[in-house]
């Protein structure tokens, strides 16, 4: 595995590789867990040369968020990436990505970036879209792999790719979970023992909503209320939002479920904020 930290070196490495192979790209912020590794494996399975980026992008963190304490462990990540067969690990510094400081040009995806998490993290999704656009230009991948764990992020990236004609195929990968249903996340290390023990309530609530829908309940309000009830049984869980949304445009559903539906939740456990969701198709 090659570890490179500059765009120039990365371009040179990829030029040698790409003439007869497809490039699969997995953008990450590091602190790898099996969710990340499943994306690497998905890229490998398709026969791509696997390029992963590891960059804790400062612009996507809001004031008072966890940029400073975000878990960083390059040596461990490097070993895990190598073991999973990643071919190139791109680890740029801030000067490489933002040589002139904070950008003046942003990619904004209207209609998607202000909903769900966007309401509580203003500016987050435009920063994600912008850094992913930059990484797409730098790497020029054939395919890019994203986790459904961050469902809103996938929709934002897919829309950006369509609207701006990026020549890349976005591949959705399923959420990797611990045995008790908790979605793997680099942020789970922040949880105290008690908070971690309480965290499965998110998946319990979503699974409850899903089984109601699969058993014929078509009222989004009833499903939303039932998920709220499950969450309220866990005193450590402080929900920020929970609901039933259109799986394409993230509008809150107020009526009958139909087509692509997203059950989604964000909640605080102490100081940590966790998000989770389940996508389903109804009818």
Catalytic residue set: 36
Closest approach of Cβ 231 to ligand AMP, in Å? Answer: 20
217/10 Cα distance (integer angstroms): 51
Contact between 243 and ligand AMP by CB under 6 A: the answer reads: no
Per CB under 6 A, the segment of 42-50, 173-181, 225-233, 264-272 that binds ligand AMP is: 173-181
Closest approach of Cβ 53 to ligand AMP, in Å? Answer: 9
87-116 burial by CB neighbour count: b if 16+ within 10 A, else e?
bbbbbbeeebbbeeeeeeeebebeebbebb
Contact between 185 and ligand AMP by CB under 6 A: the answer reads: yes
CA nearest neighbour of 30 among 78, 69, 66: 78
By rule CB under 6 A, what string of x and - marks binding of each residue 23-52 to ligand AMP?
A: -----xx-----xx-xx-------------
H runs (alpha helix) in the chain: 7-18, 34-45, 74-83, 94-97, 117-120, 124-139, 151-163, 193-198, 201-214, 220-232
Contact between 186 and ligand AMP by CB under 6 A: the answer reads: yes
Closest approach of Cβ 235 to ligand AMP, in Å? Answer: 25
Residue sitting closest to ligand AMP (CB): 147
Helix (H/G/I), strand (E/B), else coil: 114: coil
- Between 172 and 260, CB nearer to ligand AMP: 172
Contact between 183 and ligand AMP by CB under 6 A: the answer reads: yes
Q: How many residues bind ligand AMP (CB under 6 A)?
A: 17
2/4 Cα distance (integer angstroms): 6
Cross-strand pairs, 276: 265
Closest approach of Cβ 82 to ligand AMP, in Å? Answer: 17
Contact between 201 and ligand AMP by CB under 6 A: the answer reads: no
- With a CB cutoff of 8 Å and minimum separation 6, the contacts of 152 are 112, 115, 116, 117, 118, 125, 250, 264
Binding site for ligand AMP (CB under 6 A): 28-29, 35-36, 38-39, 146-147, 149-150, 173, 175-176, 183-186
């Amino acid at each position: 595995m090659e570890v490179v930290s500059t765009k120039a070196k990365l371009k040179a490495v990829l030029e040698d590789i790409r003439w007869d192979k497809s490039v699969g790209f997995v953008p990450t912020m590091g602190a790898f867990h099996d969710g990340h590794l499943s994306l690497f494996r998905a890229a490998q399975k398709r026969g791509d040369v696997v390029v992963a980026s590891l960059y804790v992008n400062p612009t996507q963190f809001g004031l008072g968020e966890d940029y400073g304490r975000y878990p960083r462990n390059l040596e461990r990540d490097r070993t895990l990436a190598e073991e999973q067969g990643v071919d190139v690990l791109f680890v740029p510094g801030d000067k490489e990505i933002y040589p002139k400081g904070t950008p003046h040009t942003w990619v904004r995806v209207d209609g998607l970036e202000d909903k769900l998490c966007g309401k509580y993290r203003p500016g987050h999704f435009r920063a994600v879209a912008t850094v992913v656009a930059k990484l797409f230009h730098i790497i020029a991948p054939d395919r890019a792999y994203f986790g459904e764990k961050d469902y809103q992020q996938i929709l934002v990236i897919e829309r950006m790719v369509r609207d701006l004609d990026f020549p890349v195929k976005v591949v959705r990968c399923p959420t990797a979970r611990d045995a008790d249903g908790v979605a793997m996340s680099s942020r789970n290390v922040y949880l105290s023992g008690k908070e971690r023990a309480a965290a499965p309530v998110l998946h319990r609530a979503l699974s409850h909503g899903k089984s109601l829908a699969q058993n014929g309940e078509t009222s989004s309000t009833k499903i939303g209320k039932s998920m709220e009830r499950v969450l309220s049984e866990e005193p450590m869980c402080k929900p920020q939002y929970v609901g039933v949304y259109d799986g394409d445009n993230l509008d809150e559903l107020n009526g009958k479920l139909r087509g692509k539906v997203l059950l989604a939740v964000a909640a605080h456990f102490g100081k940590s904020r966790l998000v989770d969701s389940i996508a389903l198709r109804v009818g």
